[in-house]
């Protein structure tokens, strides 16, 4: 195979019918709840996983894809593009880089590019779809790597959350932030920092208010209705639909997809969480 696109499963798309003929694969996270491990693949029953997490009193954890899982996909093609969640939220990027080094040591003729998106969810989906399109148009490996890097750097991500237990327990946000927001029943809006961490910058008690603030933030960030928008939701289709209508009211031609959160993003977004990339 000439091309392979590989995403870790912080990406919400479970399959990609490529127009270029490139292969598409997922390197799965694992979610550990008590003595049970859930593998974040298309077959995962996310609802059952979340129910088990609610019923379990102890701390739940996640594990990133192993270098061996990344390497198995890199070996499938002459040119491999790997897309990972932020390296400051997970070890997935480091595992992919270790796999790249190991594969290139044995197969120096291969081309392998690993992009730390400093993001998650729709950011990986948008980059994968761009890569597929540009491969179909004949882009060479070096050109595609440069274009993906520039495209990713121009993106934005927002997190609209009401529960912070897993983020706080796993060190992704301050335990104080998580405790206060949870006790006050707040909806909190976060965005990525330049180094791929989460900065919570707005809080309110009403979901309608946080949706309005998302639209304001998109406009403030210079969104012009051209870049793809992905709305990922954790059992909150109603809010996702309201936000979709709001976005199309401001930017009628904006390409937009609403997707349910898969395993990893459900684990961290938790009940009623939204993740918006643009």
pLDDT given at position 170: 58
Q: Which residue has the higher pLDDT, 181 or 51?
A: 51
**pLDDT value of residue 160:** 95
pLDDT in tens, 22-78: 999 999 999 999 999 999 999 999 999 999 988 998 889 999 999 999 999 999 999
The helix or strand, by DSSP H or E, that contains position 104, with its residue range, turns out to be helix 92-106
pLDDT the model gives residue 65: 98
What's the confidence (pLDDT) of residue 250?
Answer: 98
Residue 186: the pLDDT is 76
Close Cβ partners of 31 (under 8 Å, ≥ 6 residues apart): 37, 38, 40, 49, 53, 60, 61, 62, 263, 264, 267
User: Quick one: pLDDT band at residue 240, thresholds 50, 70, 90?
Assistant: very high
Instruction: Determine the pLDDT at residue 116.
Output: 98
Residue 58, classified by CB atoms within 10 Å of its CB into exposed (0-12), middle (13-18) or buried (19+), is exposed
The dihedral built from the CA positions of residue 134, 138, 144 and 147, taken in this order, carries a sign that is: negative
Topology of the domain comprising 157-277: Hypothetical Protein Tm841; Chain: A;domain 3 (3.30.1180)
Question: Where exactly are the structural domains of the chain?
Answer: 3-29+64-153, 157-277
Task: Pick 245 or 197 by higher pLDDT.
Answer: 245
User: What local confidence, expressed as pLDDT, does residue 57 receive?
Assistant: 86
Q: What is the pLDDT of residue 145?
A: 98
* Model confidence pLDDT, tens digit, residues 200-237: 889 888 899 999 999 999 999 999 999 999 999 999 99
Q: What is residue 192's predicted lDDT score, i.e. its pLDDT?
A: 93
111-170: pLDDT as tens digits: 999 999 999 999 999 999 999 999 999 999 999 999 999 999 999 999 999 876 766 665
Query: Looking at residue 187, what is its pLDDT?
Result: 86
- Beta strand residue intervals within 28-152, DSSP E: 30-33, 36-39, 61-63, 79-84, 111-116
Structurally, what CATH architecture does the domain formed by 3-29+64-153 represent?
3-Layer(aba) Sandwich (3.40)
Which pLDDT belongs to residue 181? 54
From CA 128, how far away is CA 5, in angstroms rounded?
A: 7
């Amino acid at each position: 195979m000439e091309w392979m696109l590989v995403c870790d499963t912080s990406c919400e798309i479970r399959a990609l019918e490529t127009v270029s003929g490139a292969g598409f694969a997922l390197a799965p996270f694992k979610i550990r709840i008590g003595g049970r491990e859930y593998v974040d693949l298309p077959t995962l029953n996310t609802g059952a996983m979340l129910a088990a997490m609610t019923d379990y009193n102890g701390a739940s954890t996640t594990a990133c894809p192993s270098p061996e899982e990344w390497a198995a996909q890199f070996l499938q093609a002459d040119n491999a593009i790997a897309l990972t969640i932020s390296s400051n939220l997970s070890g997935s990027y480091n595992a992919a880089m270790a796999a790249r080094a190991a594969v290139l040591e044995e197969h120096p003729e291969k081309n392998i590019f690993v992009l730390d998106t400093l993001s998650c969810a729709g950011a990986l989906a948008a980059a994968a779809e761009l890569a597929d399109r540009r491969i179909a148009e004949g882009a060479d490996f070096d050109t595609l790597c440069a274009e993906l890097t520039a495209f990713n750097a121009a993106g934005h991500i927002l997190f609209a959350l009401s529960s912070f237990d897993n983020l706080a327990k796993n060190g992704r946000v301050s335990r104080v932030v998580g405790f206060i927001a949870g006790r006050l029943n707040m909806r909190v809006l976060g965005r990525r920092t330049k180094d791929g961490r989460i900065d919570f910058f707005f809080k309110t008690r009403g979901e309608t208010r946080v949706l309005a603030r998302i639209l304001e933030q998109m406009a403030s960030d210079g969104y012009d209705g051209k870049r793809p928008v992905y709305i990922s939701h954790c059992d909150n289709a109603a809010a996702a639909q309201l936000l979709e209508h709001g976005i199309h009211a401001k930017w009628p031609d904006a390409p937009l997809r609403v997707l349910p959160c898969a395993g990893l993003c459900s684990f961290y977004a938790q009940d009623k969480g939204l993740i918006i990339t643009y």
